[in-house]
Each structure stands twice: as C-alpha cells, then as structure tokens.
Amino acid sequence: MKSSLVLQRFILVLFLVLITVPGIQGVTKILNVRSLFGVIPPKQKVELSLMSWMDGLYQPYMIEMAKDNIGFRPYLVRLSNQINYSIFDHLTSIYVVRGKQDYLYELAYVENAMGKHLMHADTLKTIARRLSLINEYLKSRSKQMIVIIAPNKARFYPEYLPDESVSFPEVSNYSNVKTYFEGESLPVLDCIEIFEKEKANAKYPLIGKCGSHWSMYGSSVIADTLMSRLQSQSDQLIKTFRIGEIETSDVTRATDGDLNGLANLMFDIPSGTLAYPKLEPKEGGKKLRVLAVGDSYYLSFMHNGLVETCFTPNSLMLYYFSTVYEGCEVSDKKLSDIDFNALLEDVDVVLLCSAEPNTDIAYYEFTKRFEQLILHK
C-alpha cells in the first residue's frame, strides 16, 4: 500500500514534468533536438492587444504557435509517423510517395513524370536560346558546355509506383526540355535515357530504393560517361578516373537514403544493398576548372569524388544560382563577390545539371546573367 502511494506520487511528479518541460524546451531550446525535414509555413504574426484579444484574433494565433513550437516536436512527429507507417501501413509525409515494396519517390518527380506542373513553354525556349548563345561563345574559345538531364526515379522505376501513378503522358517537362534543348543543338547528356539502357545490366542499383537522387554508384556511372565525353571533345589530355574498389553496404551514405529523411520516421525504411565505388585518378591529364550550375544532383559528384579527382579546387558550383560551392565545400562567397566576366574566360567547362522539376529555377537566372555578359562583350 505504501509502495503504491510512493509510485502514485512519483507519477504525479512525472506528469508535472511531462507537461512542463516541453513548453520550457519550446521557448529556450536548451536541448539540441534533430530537426524535421520539410517546412512549417510561416504564420502571420498577431500582436497581443486588447482589440486582438477581444476580437478573438490573438488566441488562435497563440494556439498555433504553441503547437508549432512545442519542445521535442520532431520526436513527437516522428513517433506519430512511425505508428502510422508500422501499424497502419501509411506514410504520412506530404513530400513522399510510397510505392510497391516500400520504394519511395519524391512527389514532385512523380507528378512531373505524370505531366503535371508544366513549365511555361516560353520560359524553356528562352533558357534553351540563351544556353545556345553561351555554348556558341564557349565553343569559340575552345571551351565546353554540357547540359546534364538528371534521372527521374519515377521514370526509372515505374514498376514500383502505386497503381494510380503509372500513366505518363507524352508531354511533360522532360519531353519539353529535350525538344527545346535539342532544337537548339545543345550538348545534352540525357541520364534518363542512359539509365534506362543501363538498368537491366547494372550490377548495383543506379537509384536507391529510399533515395530521390541517383545512387553513389549511379552518379559514378554518369561521371564516367561525362568524363569520356569531355575527353572525346577535348584536344588535350584531361584528368579522368577509373572505378576502383566497390564497397557494398546496407547503410546508406550521402543522398542514397534521402527520402527516409523526408518521411520523418523514427527508424529508416531499409534501402537494401547499395554500392560505393572508389574513383581512382588516372595518370596524367589536366584537371579542369569547372563552372557548374544546377540542383542537388550535381552535389553527388562532390560526394562520389569526381570533383576532387578531376576538377580544380577552385571549380565553382552555383546551386540554383544562389549558394556558391568552391571545390566540394560551401563557400563564404556570395554571387556578388564573383567576377563572372573573368570566370567565363577562365573556366574550361560549364556543366549544367538539373532534374526535370527544377530546370526553370535552376537555369533561368544563370542564363539571363550570362546572356547579358556575352552580349555586352
């Protein structure tokens, strides 16, 4: 009887702790909690005043704020998502589509493959026209440009998509990009086509089961093709690589399991065995100074070792023409710090790399800036 009373007192104190600490943590953020992937849309701030209180405007705002800023929110969200996934077979994330056999897809890619979110034709035509101008300018100075169309997992693994998502129309952002870019005779490296050809024979998955991007193995295959193409069109010997030892692992690296992150679960969905090749530099050859522009697909070339092995340390990557990477690291430099005129004269290669949902945002501003630059020369 006494022990029961002690336990009841303990639970009483524990309950008080449980209802007090999340509020304090929410305000002070004393403990470091791994945050969630995704965003909470910002709410319009309502100031506390007699009017806002009496009109009942302040209270709903505070209710939402208390909910969004509760301490340990990531744990609570992950727990709920995990229960929904493990018990009710339902993935809660709004960004992730769960396919058959637990293959995950990023929603934007599935919808693009289904012909949704079509970019304005004029925008794509403008980008293609400007890229053509840039390409001609580079060619006149014996430099190269390659436009990499990154793969789309929904197109690569249509067999694992949920039944309602497998119909792909003829017209999509991918088809439009291809039409307009090839119409301007741009040097395109179409990884959707390459992956489709390689799919049956690839020794290891080219795209991970729980990854949105190409796998480290897939990106190495593309790196190999890219460097071969660059060498074939160059007069001088350039630094290339050979694929050395291939390590396999059930634990994902780099972006190979990135959709697990977006799913915000407590425990990752198993991704199966993935391959991690080591890129070994070949003897001789000149490292290229590269200017890359694009989306996160290009970052895989930093993760798989291509940038370090074959490109100069001062090669730049302009992520969405916004964040600057130098070599493999995010740079303190801002776009305004870069002398694009000098850069254009100094680089050996311009690489553009983006997946179909991002083509317009990744390239529009870059092409605009460089078009002006070239026209004013």
Partner 1 sequence: MVFSSHIFIFWFLPLCLISYMLVPKKAKNSLVLFFSLVFYAWGAPRFVLILIGSSLVDFYLAKGMVNNYRSKLLISIGVTLNVALLATFKYLNFFIENVNFMLMQFGIEEVSWTSVALPIGISFFTFQKISYLVDVYRGTCRPRQSFINYLLFVSLFPQLIAGPIVRYKDVADQITDRFASENARERFNGIFRFVIGLAKKVLIANVLAEQVDNMFAESNISDLGTISVWIGMLAYSFQIYFDFSGYSDMAIGLGKMIGFTFPENFNYPYISKNITEFWRRWHMTLGTWMKDYLYIPLGGNRSSVKRTYINLWTVFFISGIWHGASWNFMLWGIFHGSILILDRLFLIRLTSKLHSVVQVLITYFLTLIGWVLFRFENAADFKLIYSRMFSWQLDTTPLEPSNRFYAILILAALFAFMGMRKKVETATNGLYQPSLGPGTTIFKSLTLILIFILCVSELTVSGYNPFIYFKF
What is the rounded (10 degree) CA torsion for 95, 275, 233, 290?
60
Q: What is the smallest separation between the CB atom of 84 and partner 1, expressed in angstroms?
A: 7
73: contact with partner 1 by CB under 8 A: yes
Map the footprint of partner 1 across residues 92-131, applying CB under 8 A: 92
Half-sphere exposure of 64 (CA within 13 A, CB side): 12
Question: If binding means CB under 8 A, how many residues of this protein chain bind partner 1?
Answer: 40
CB count in 10 Å sphere of residue 20: 10
Instruction: Report the residue from 30, 48, 76, 251 that binds partner 1 according to the rule CB under 8 A.
Output: 76
Is residue 20 involved in binding partner 1 (CB under 8 A)? yes
Contact 64, 43 (CB under 8 A): yes
Residue 84 within binding range of partner 1, rule CB under 8 A: yes
Task: Write out the two tokens for 100.
Answer: 């058959």
Pick one of 83, 192, 338, 373: the residue that binds partner 1 (CB under 8 A): 83
Q: Does 48 bind partner 1 (CB under 8 A)?
A: no
Contacting partner 1 (CB under 8 A), which of 33, 48, 49, 67?
A: 67
Q: Which positions from 234 through 293 interact with partner 1, judged by CB under 8 A?
A: none
State how far Cα 48 lies from the chain centre. Answer: 40
Nearer to partner 1, 7 or 375 (CB): 7
Residue 240 Cβ, how far from partner 1 at the closest point, in Å? 49
In degrees, rounded to 5, the angle at the alpha carbon of residue 272 between the alpha carbons of residues 196 and 102 is 80
45 binds partner 1 (CB under 8 A): no
- Helix (H) / strand (E) element for 292: namely strand 290-294
Of 9 and 242, CB closest to partner 1: 9
Structure tokens at 163: 């039944």
Closer residue to partner 1 (CB): 45 or 376: 45
In the set 18, 121, 237, 375, which binds partner 1 (CB under 8 A)? 18
Within 8 A by CB and 6+ apart from 74, the residues are 33, 34, 35, 36, 264
Which of 168, 192, 179, 171 lies closest to 110 in space, CA to CA? 168
Binding of partner 1 at residue 79 (CB under 8 A)? yes
Give 325's Cβ-side CA count (13 Å radius).
25
Phi, psi of 150 (to 5 degrees): -70, 155
Q: Name the nearest CA neighbour of 264 among 82, 113, 138.
A: 82
Reduced to 3 states (helix: H, G, I; strand: E, B; else coil), residue 248 is strand
Which residues in 181-200 contact partner 1 (CB under 8 A)? Answer: none
Residue from 41, 44, 45, 87 in contact with partner 1 (CB under 8 A): 87
The stretch near partner 1 (CB under 8 A) out of 5-13, 127-135, 245-253, 348-356 is 5-13
Question: Would you count residue 39 as binding partner 1 (CB under 8 A)?
Answer: no
86 is an interface residue for partner 1 by CB under 8 A? no
The residue ranges that bind partner 1 (CB under 8 A) are: 1, 3-5, 7-9, 11-12, 14-16, 18-20, 22-23, 26, 53-54, 56, 59, 62-63, 66-67, 70, 73, 76-77, 79-81, 83-84, 87-90, 92
